[in-house]
Amino acid sequence: MPHPVPQSRRIFLQRAGVAAVAVAGGSTFLNACASSGGGNTDDNRGERTDENPFGVEATAPLSVVIFDGGYGDEYAKFHQGLYNEVFPDSEISHKAITDIRQQMQPLFNAGNPPDVLDNAGAEAMPISTLADTGQLADLSELFAADALGFDGMTVEETLNPVAIESGEYDGKPLVLNYALQVYGLWYDRALFDENGWEPAETWDDFLALCEEIKGTGMAPLAHQGKYPYYIEQLLWDLAVKHGGPEVAYAIDSLEPGAWEHESMKLAAEAIAELKSKGYMLEGTEGLDHIQSQTAWNEHKAAFITCGSWLENEQKEVAPEGFETTVSPTPLLDGATLPFDCGRVEAAEAFIVPAKAQNVPGGLEYMRQMLSKEGAAEFTKLTAAPTVVDGATEGLELTPGATSAIAIIDSGGDNNWNYYYNKWYTPMEPKIGSAVAELAAGRIDADEFVSRAQKAADEAAEDPNTVKRTRSA
Amino acid sequence: MKYGRYPFVVGFLAPGLILYVLFVLSPFAQAFHYSLTDWTGITPEFEYVGLQNFEQLLNDSIFLRALRNNAMVLVFVPAVTVFLALLFAFLLNVGGGATSAGVKGIRGSGFYKLVFFMPQVLAIPVIAVIWSVIFEPTSRGLVNSALGQVGIGPLGFLSDPALALWCVMWVLVWGSVGFYLVLFNAAISSVPREIFEAAVIDGAGRAATFRKVTLPLLWDTVQTSWVYLAILALDIYALVAVMTAGPGGPDNATQVMSLQIAQNGFNFGRAGYASAMGVVLFFLTMVIAVIMLRISRRDRIEF
The per-residue pLDDT for B217 is 86
Q: How far is B4 from chain A (nearest CA, A)?
A: 27
What is the ipTM, given to two decimal places?
0.85
Nearest to A30 among B136, B156, B271 (CB): B271
**pLDDT over 90 for what percent of chain B?**
47
**In A149-260, where does DSSP find H-type helix?**
155-158, 161-167, 189-195, 203-215, 229-243, 246-252
Closest in A24, A282, A291 to B281, CB measured: A24
What phi and psi values does residue A220 have, to the nearest 5 degrees? Answer: -65, -40
What is the model's pLDDT at position B41? 86
Within A9-111, residue ranges assigned H as helices are: 9-24, 26-32, 74-86, 100-109
Alpha-carbon distance A113 to nearest alpha carbon in chain B (angstroms):
11
Compute the nearest-CA separation of B265 from chain A (Å): 6
Please give, rounded to a whole number of angstroms, the shortest distance from the CA of B268 to a CA of chain A. Answer: 6
Residue A351's DSSP bridge partners are A117
Nearest to A6 among B224, B270, B278 (CB): B224
Residue B303 vs residue B249, higher pLDDT: B249
CB contact residues (below 8 A), chain A span 156-185, against chain B: none
A29 CB within 8 Å of a chain B CB: yes
Give residues 96 to 155 of A whose Cβ lies within 8 Å of B: 101, 105, 108-111, 125-126, 128-130, 133-135
Q: Tell me if B265 and A26 make a contact (CB, 8 A cut-off).
A: yes
Contact flag A425-B267 (C-beta cutoff 8 Å):
yes
For A463, list phi and psi in degrees, rounded to 5: -65, -20
Is B158 in the A-facing interface, judged by CB distances under 8 Å? yes
Cβ <8 Å between A9 and B263: no
| DSSP 8-state symbol, A424 | S
Instruction: Assign a CATH topology to domain B51-295.
Output: MetI-like fold (1.10.3720)
Cα angle, residue A326 at apex, residues A244 and A393 outer, rounded to 5°: 95
Is some CB atom of chain A closer than 8 A to the CB atom of B208? no
Q: Give the helix/strand (H/E) hosting B123.
A: none
Measured in degrees and rounded to the nearest 5, phi and psi for residue A97 equal -135, 165
What band does B203 get if pLDDT is binned at 50, 70 and 90?
confident
Question: Alpha helices, DSSP H only, in B108-218?
Answer: 109-117, 124-134, 142-149, 164-189, 193-201, 206-208, 215-217
Which whole-number Å values give the CA distances from A339 to A232, A382, A415, B125, B195, in the listed order?
18, 27, 11, 44, 82
Interval B124-160: pLDDT, tens:
999 999 999 999 998 888 999 999 899 887 888 999 9
Q: Is B122 on the interface with A (CB under 8 A)?
A: no
Contacts with A, B 51-90, CB within 8 Å: 62
Q: Are residues A19 and B228, on separate chains, in Cβ contact within 8 Å?
A: yes
Locate the domains of chain A by residue range: 15-180+344-395, 182-339+420-461
| Contact between B282 and A25 using a beta-carbon 8 Å cutoff | no
Q: Provide the pLDDT for residue B215.
A: 85
Tell me the angle at which helices B164-189 and B109-117 cross, rounded to the nearest 10 degrees.
130
CA distance B60 to B186: 45
- In chain A, the residue whose alpha carbon lies closest to the alpha carbon of B56 is A462
Residue B32 clears pLDDT 90, i.e. is over it: yes
Q: Which residue type occupies B157?
A: F
Buried b (16+ CB within 10 A) or exposed e, A162-179: bbbebbbbeeebbbbbbb
Cα separation of B65 and A205, whole Å?
42
**Contact yes or no for A130 and B138 at CB 8 A:** no
Nearest to B282 by CA among A165, A307, A20, A57: A20
Question: Is residue B220 pLDDT above 50, yes or no?
Answer: yes
Q: Please count the residue pairs, one from chain A and one from chain B, whose beta carbons lie less than 8 angstroms apart.
A: 216
Sign of CA dihedral A383, A384, A388, A392: positive
CA distance B295 to chain A (A): 14
**For chain B, which residues make up each domain, given as ranges?**
51-295
Instruction: List, as ranges, residues 166-195 from B with C-beta within 8 Å of A.
Output: 175-176, 179, 183
Asked whether the beta carbons of residue A23 and residue B231 sit closer than 8 angstroms, the reply is yes
Are B264 and A426 a contacting pair at CB < 8 A? yes
Identify the CATH assignment for A15-180+344-395 out of 3.30.70.240, 3.20.20.100, 3.40.190.10, 3.40.50.720. Answer: 3.40.190.10
pLDDT at B301: 67
Cβ atoms of A327 and A199 within 8 Å: the answer is yes
CB A348 within 8 A of CB A71: yes
Residue B29 has pLDDT above 60, yes or no: yes
Mark yes or no for CB contact A108/B42 under 8 Å: yes
Residue B35: phi and psi, rounded to 5, are: -65, -15
Q: Cβ of A12 and B227 within 8 Å?
A: yes
**Matching CATH number, A182-339+420-461, of 3.40.190.10, 3.40.50.720, 3.10.20.30, 3.40.50.1820:** 3.40.190.10
Distance CA B264, CA A228 (A): 19
Phi-psi region of A264 (alpha: psi -120 to 50; beta: other; left: phi over 0): alpha
Residues of B in contact with A130 (CB under 8 A): 42, 269
CA distance A234 to chain B (A): 18
Same fold, A15-180+344-395 and A182-339+420-461: yes
**Whole-structure pTM value:** 0.86
Contact B267 A126 (CB under 8 A): yes
∠ CA(B168), CA(B170), CA(B173), 5° rounding? 115
How far is Cα A402 from Cα A383, in angstroms, rounded to an integer? 9
Task: Decide: helix, strand or coil at residue A94.
Answer: strand
For residue B40, the one-letter residue type is T
CB A178 within 8 A of CB A346: yes
At residue B3 the predicted structure's pLDDT band, cuts being 50, 70 and 90, is: low
SS3 B228: helix
Residues in A touching B224 (Cβ below 8 Å) = 5-6, 12
b/e for B19-43, b at 16 or more Cβ within 10 A? eeeeebeebbebbbbbbbbbbbbbb
Which of A27, A288, A433 minimises the CB distance to B249? A433
Q: What is the pLDDT along chain A (472 residues), one digit of tens a residue?
A: 333 333 343 333 344 443 444 444 333 334 334 444 333 444 568 888 888 999 999 999 999 999 998 888 999 999 999 999 999 999 999 999 999 999 999 999 888 999 999 999 888 999 988 999 899 999 999 999 999 999 889 999 999 999 999 999 989 999 999 999 999 999 999 999 999 999 999 999 999 999 999 999 999 999 999 999 999 999 999 999 999 999 999 999 999 999 999 999 999 999 999 999 999 999 999 999 999 999 999 999 999 999 999 998 898 999 999 999 999 999 999 999 999 999 999 999 999 999 999 999 999 999 999 999 999 999 988 888 999 988 888 888 899 999 999 999 999 999 999 999 999 999 999 999 999 999 999 999 999 999 999 999 999 998 888 999 988 7
Nearest-CA distance A130 → chain B (Å):
7
CB atoms A25 and B124 under 8 Å: no
Out of A32, A110, A436, whose CB is closest to B27?
Answer: A32
User: Over 60: is that where the pLDDT of B1 sits?
Assistant: no
The reply to whether B116 touches chain A by the CB within 8 Å rule is no
Q: Note the pLDDT of residue A44.
A: 67
For residue B76, give Cα distances in angstroms to A236, B72, B162, B236, B256: 40, 6, 16, 13, 15
Nearest to B227 by CA among B295, B274, B129: B295
Mutual angle of helices B219-235 and B164-189, in 10-degree steps: 150
Distance CA B6, CA A153 (A): 78
How many other CB atoms are there within 10 angstroms of residue B114's CB atom? 10
